[in-house]
A and B are shown apart, each in its own frame.
Chain A
Amino acid sequence: MTTENKKKTVRFAEPPKIGLSEALYLPAIAAGIATTVRHMFHKNQTRQYPEVEPDIPKNYRGVHRLNRDDQGRVKCVACFMCQTACPANCIEIEATGTDKNDPTWADRDKFPKTFVIDELRCIYCGMCEEACPVDAIELTSIYDLTGMTRQEMIFDKEKLLSVFDETVQSGKDPVRTVRGQLGPASERLSS
C-alpha cells in the first residue's frame, strides 16, 4: 500500500465543538431530565402477559401435533421420515400394518402403533414437519409447555392427537394447514 492510499483511507474524526452551554454541563443535564420526564408520560409498552397473551405468528415452532385426516384417523403413514430427519433423536415410531378386513382402514397399508416425542429432548427445529410426506406432523404455535415431571413431557400418540384437536378447536392451525396446500402424497391419500 502506498502512502498516498494510506492517506486517503486514514480518516480522522473531528471532535464536536464545545461551547459555553456544554462546558457548564447544566443545560445538557436539563435536556436529559426533560427527556426522561417526557418519557414518564408516554404510553407504556408492557404487555400484561398472563392476562394478555401475545399474538404468536402461524409459522412459530412450538409443541408438535399429529394431524388427523378427514375420517378422524391419524394421518401418519409410519414412514419413519421424521424419525430419520430428527437431529435430536426425540421421535420414536413403532409401525404396524392395517387390518385389510377393516373397511375404515382399507385404503391404508401402515399406521403408527405408537408415536412418541420427547418434548424435552426436541430442539424445535421443524425438520420433522419438513420431512413428512403427508403433512401429518406439524409444529403448532403453543409456546407455554410446562410439566411437573419428565415423564409428563414425553408425548405419546394420543397426546399428540389431542394437541391437534385442541389447536383445531381454538383456530390456531399452523401455517401448512392454513395455506390449504398439502404435500403431494397427502393429497393422494385424502382423495
Chain B
Amino acid sequence: MTIDWNFLWPLGAAMVIVLGFVPVAGLYMTFIERKLAAYVQDRVGPNRVGPLGLFQSIADGIKIFLKEQVIPSHVHKSVYLFAPTIGLMCAMLSIAVVPYGPANAEPGPGFRAIIAPGVDIGILFLLAISSLSAYGIILGGWASNNKYSLFGATRACAQFISYEIPIGLSLLGIIAMTGSLNIEKLVAAQGDGIVNWNFWWQPLAALIFFVAALAESNRLPFDLSECEQELVGGFHTEYSGIKFVLFALAEYTHLVTVSFLTVLLFFGGWHFPGLTGPVDATVAGFLIRWVVLAVKVSLVVAFIMQLRWTLPRFRYDQLMGLAWKGLIPLGILNLLGLVIVLTFDASRWWMTILSVAILVLSGMANVTMAQKRIQRKAASRMAMETQYS
C-alpha cells in the first residue's frame, strides 16, 4: 500500500497546529483570565514574571510538570489516572471537526485549517463527543472515592444531560435552513454580507446555544460541579499537579470550542463585509480571513471571561430550572416557529420577528407568574396577620 503524501501532509499540519496550539492557548488563557479578573477587581494581576508578567504561564507550566505526583491511597487507581485523559481526549477530539481557520466547503488538495475536512455529520459528531467529556468528570469524581467529588460529578452529569437538549434544539434551525450538518458548509452559507449571518434571523437560538454551551463547558456561572464553597473542589478535589491541569486544559479547550462554534455558526465565521470570493484564492485573503476569525473568537472568549466575573454562580435548582423551564421550552417554541416558517415557505426574516416575540412573550409570562407568586405570598401573609390578632 502506498501512502498518498499529498493527502497526508495537510492533515498532519492541521493536527500539529491544533495539538501545539491548544496547550499553549490553555496556559495563556489562564494568564489572560487572571489579568482580566484583576482588572475587573481594580487590581494589577500577575506582573512579576517577565515583562507584564507574560512569562507567568511558562513558569506555571514548569511548576506543574515538576510537581510531585500525589495519588491518594483511597482512590481507584486506574480509573483515577484514566479520567483526566478522557476529559482532555474528548475536548481535543471535538476540535477535529471545527475549522480553526478559513476552510473551503468543497474538499480539495492542499492545506486546510481543519483536521477532518468535509465531515458531513460535523455538528452531530461534535455534540456527541463533547458530551462524552462528562465521562472524564464522572469517572474522576467516582474514582476519587470522596463524597464531595462524587457530589460534583453527579451534578456535572445532570448538568450535561440537561443542557444537551437546548444545544440540539438551538442548532436545528440553522441546520434545517442550510440543509447540512457540515460546519464548513454552514459557514459558507453565511457569506456575502453581514445580513447573512445566522445571528440576525436566529437571535433566540444564538442565545440558547450560547448559554447552553457555556453550561456544557462547565464555566462560571455554571461551574456547579466544582463549586468551592460547597464541594471543596468538586470532582477534582483529589487531583493535583499535571492530572489537575489536564482537567483544567479540557475546560479551556471546551471554552475555545464553544467560542469557535458560536462564531462559526451564528456570527459568520471568517466572513466579513468586503471579503468576497473563495477563501483560498490568495494567500493574503486567506490570512485576513484567519485574522477576522481569530478576532471574533477572541472577543467571544473575552466575553465569556467577563461573564465569569459578572454573574454569581447559580444555585443547583436554578441551574436545572434554567435548562428545563427556560431554555428547553424556548428552544421548542423556536423550533415551532421555524416549522411554521418552513411550512409556509416564508422569508427567514419572519424568524427574527418570531424569535423576539417568543422571548418577550415568555418574559411576560414570567412576570405574570412572578406576580402570582407575590400575590400568594401576600395572601399567606394576611393569613398570618389574622392569626396574630
A residues lining the B interface (CB < 8 Å): 3, 6-7, 10, 12, 15, 17-20, 22-24, 26, 29, 32-33, 35-37, 39-40, 42-46, 48
B residues lining the A interface (CB < 8 Å): 36, 38-44, 207, 306-307, 309-311, 359-360, 363-364, 366-367, 370-371, 374, 377, 381, 385, 388-389
Contact B39 A33 (CB under 8 A): no
Name the B residues within 8 Å of A43 (CB-CB).
42
Measured in the bound complex, the distance between the Cα atoms of B364 and A46 in whole Å is 45
Contact A3 B389 (CB under 8 A): yes
Given A36-B40, A45-B43, check contact A23 B307 (CB 8 Å): no
Measured in the bound complex, the distance between the Cα atoms of B360 and A42 in whole Å is 35
Contact B310 A36 (CB under 8 A): yes
Q: How far is the CB of B330 from chain A (nearest CB, A)?
A: 11
Contact B359 A44 (CB under 8 A): no
Contact A12 B371 (CB under 8 A): no
Contact B306 A18 (CB under 8 A): no
Q: Per a CB cutoff under 8 Å, which of B36, B39, B42, B367 touches A23?
A: B367
Contact A6 B388 (CB under 8 A): yes
Q: How far is the CB of A1 from chain B (nearest CB, A)?
A: 11
Name the A residues within 8 Å of B367 (CB-CB).
18-20, 22-23
Contact A42 B363 (CB under 8 A): no
Q: Per a CB cutoff under 8 Å, which of A3, A6, A26, A33 touches B307?
A: A33
Measured in the bound complex, the distance between the Cα atoms of B311 and A12 in whole Å is 29
Given A12-B381, A18-B371, A29-B311, check contact A7 B366 (CB 8 Å): no
Given A7-B389, A32-B311, check contact A37 B364 (CB 8 Å): no
Measured in the bound complex, the distance between the Cα atoms of B39 and A22 in whole Å is 28
Contact B364 A20 (CB under 8 A): yes
Q: How many A-B residue pairs have CB under 8 A?
A: 66
Given A23-B366, A23-B370, A44-B44, check contact A39 B360 (CB 8 Å): no
Contact B310 A29 (CB under 8 A): yes
Measured in the bound complex, the distance between the Cα atoms of B386 and A7 in whole Å is 10
Q: Write 9 A-B pairs (CB below 8 A) sorted by A numbering.
A: A3-B388, A12-B381, A15-B377, A19-B367, A22-B367, A35-B310, A39-B39, A40-B36, A44-B38
Q: Per a CB cutoff under 8 Å, which of A20, A35, A48 touches B363?
A: A20
Q: How far is the CB of B220 from chain A (nearest CB, A)?
A: 13
Measured in the bound complex, the distance between the Cα atoms of B381 and A12 in whole Å is 8
**Chain B residue at smallest Cβ distance from A12:** B381
Measured in the bound complex, the distance between the Cα atoms of B364 and A45 in whole Å is 43
Contact A44 B43 (CB under 8 A): yes
Name the B residues within 8 Å of A19 (CB-CB).
367
Q: How far is the CB of B72 from chain A (nearest CB, A)?
A: 34
Measured in the bound complex, the distance between the Cα atoms of B385 and A20 in whole Å is 31
Contact B39 A40 (CB under 8 A): yes
Measured in the bound complex, the distance between the Cα atoms of B371 and A6 in whole Å is 28
Measured in the bound complex, the distance between the Cα atoms of B363 and A12 in whole Å is 27
Measured in the bound complex, the distance between the Cα atoms of B326 and A26 in whole Å is 13
Contact A36 B43 (CB under 8 A): no
Name the B residues within 8 Å of A39 (CB-CB).
39-42
Name the B residues within 8 Å of A15 (CB-CB).
374, 377
Measured in the bound complex, the distance between the Cα atoms of B388 and A7 in whole Å is 7
Contact B370 A18 (CB under 8 A): yes
